[in-house]
Chains A and B, each alone.
Chain A
C-alpha cells in the first residue's frame, strides 16, 4: 500500500522552478531517502508534502489524503523533524514532548505513557528534566525526532536529521532511525551519500527540481554501471547535466 503518491507536483518561486513535475510513490513502512546537492528541491518537496507550502500545480496523496484539499487530515497523520533544531529552548525535554502531545489532544494518561515510551526508546531519561535549549546539538536533534514521533504518526519526515552532528552523534541517530524501520514510513532528506546508502530501502536522486532516478542502492549502481554508490550518484547527476 502506498503511503505517499505525488502527481506532477510543481513548486515555482517567481522565475525559479524548485520542484518540476515530481511523480513519486513511497510504500507504507518504507524508508525512502531524497538525495541531491544544494538546490535540488528536496526540502521544497518535504515542505509541500507536510503542507507547509502549497504546490504551484499538481497534487500529492499523503496517507490517502490530498495535500491541497485536505491538509488538516494530512497533519493528523504526519510527524516532522525540520532541518534546524526545533525545540522550545526554555522548556524541559519532558515539557517539549508534552507540548506536542497536548497539541494532538492526548489525555494526561496517554501523554505520560507516550513520554515514558519515547524516553526509553531514545534514551532521554537522563535529560528529561533539563532545559532543551541547554542540551548539545546531538541531544537536541534526538529530542526533535522524539517530538516528531510522539504523536504516533503514520509518516515521519526527517529533513537533514544529522546535519551538523559529529560522527558519534550521527551514528547514534542512525541507530534510532534503524529502530523505527518497518514501523513508520520515513522520508529522509540528506546530503550524505553514506547515510542514504546505510539507512534507506530506496533512494530518489534529485537535481534542479527533477527526480533523476529512483531505486535501491544496488539498482542505482547498476543503472550507472559502477560498483559504489558515490560513483553512481556522481554519474547520474552528471549525466543529467549533459
Chain B
C-alpha cells in the first residue's frame, strides 16, 4: 500500500514533465521516421524498418535512465526525500516505488514505437509481442542504471551524464546507427562486452522469429541487469543512510 502510493506519485511526476515526454517518446519516433526517410532514398540494409525498429526501441529505453535518475536526484536535492525518510516508508518501498512505474512507461514507449513503424512498412506478426516482452530485462537494466546515477549524482550531473553521455554511448555501442563490424577492433570488442548490442540483436532475433539466436544475447543482458540493480540498491540505501 505504502509502496504503491509512492510509486503512483513517481508515475505522476514523470508523466507530467513535458520534457520527459518530448525526449522519451518524441525523440525515438522522430529518429524512426528520419532514418526511414533516408532508407527510402538511399537504401541501407541497417535502416530497413524491420531491423531499425528493434534498435530504436532499445535506444528509446536509454531515456528511462534519464527519467529515473532525474527524479531521484531532484528528490534528493529538494527536501522531499528527507521528509519521506521520516515516514514509515522503508528502503525497499523507495526502491520499488522508483523502479516500478518506469516498467509500464518503458513498455508503452516500445509499443508506440512498434505502432508508429507499422505505417512505415513494419511486418506485423505475433513476434512483435515477443520482442516487446523479451526486451524487458534490458528495460530493468536502464531503470536500475537510473537509480544508481540518481543516488550518487546531482540534477545537473544527471542531465549531462545520463542525458547526453549514456544515451549516446548506448546508441553507438548498440550498432543501431552503424554496423559495428565496419569499425571493428577494440570498439567492436568493447561493444560486445557491454549489453547494448546484445539487446538490439536479441530483439531483432525475437522479432524475426529466430528464437534460438536469443540465447547468446540473453546471458550478458541478465548479467548486467542483476549487477546494475544490485549496485543501485546498495548505493541508494547508502545515500539514504547518509541523508
Contacts and interface: CB of A to CB of B under 8 A. Distances in A.
Given A86-B78, A88-B80, A105-B2, A80 B86 contact: yes
Contacts of B80: 86-88
B17 A85 contact: no
Given A72-B88, A89-B78, A95-B9, 17 more contacts: A52-B82, A52-B86, A75-B86, A75-B88, A85-B78, A86-B79, A86-B80, A86-B82, A88-B13, A88-B80, A90-B13, A102-B1, A102-B8, A103-B6, A105-B2, A147-B83, A148-B83
Identify the interface centre among A76, A85, A91, A103: most chain B CB within 10 Å of its CB: A103
A103 B2 contact: yes
A148 B87 CA distance: 10
A224 interface: no
Contacts of A12: none
B68 to A, nearest CB: 15
A91 B86 contact: no
A84 B79 contact: yes
A86 B82 CA distance: 8
A80 B85 CA distance: 10
B79 A103 contact: no
Nearest to B85: A52
Interface string A25-64: 0000000000000000000000000111100000000000
Nearest to A157: B86
Interface in B67-94: 78-80, 82-89
B16 interface: yes
Nearest to A53: B243
Nearest 8 pairs of A and B residues by beta carbon:
A102-B5, A82-B79, A86-B79, A84-B79, A86-B83, A90-B16, A80-B86, A50-B86
B212 interface: no
Nearest to B75: A88
A169 interface: no
Contacts of A148: 83
A78 B86 contact: yes
Interface residues of B, number: 23
Interface in B29-80: 78-80
Nearest to A102: B5
A176 interface: no
5 contacts: A50-B86, A52-B243, A76-B88, A99-B6, A103-B5
A17 interface: no
Contacts, number: 74
Nearest to B2: A103
A164 to B, nearest CB: 13
Nearest to B16: A90
Contacts of B2: 102-105
B95 to A, nearest CB: 15
A235 interface: no
B87 A88 contact: no
A99 B5 contact: yes
Contact of B83 (A51, A53, A80, A104): A80
Contacts of A72: 88
A83 interface: yes
A104 B88 CA distance: 7
Contacts of B1: 102, 105
A213 interface: no
A59 B94 CA distance: 27
Given A76-B88, A103-B88, A104-B88, A90 B12 contact: yes
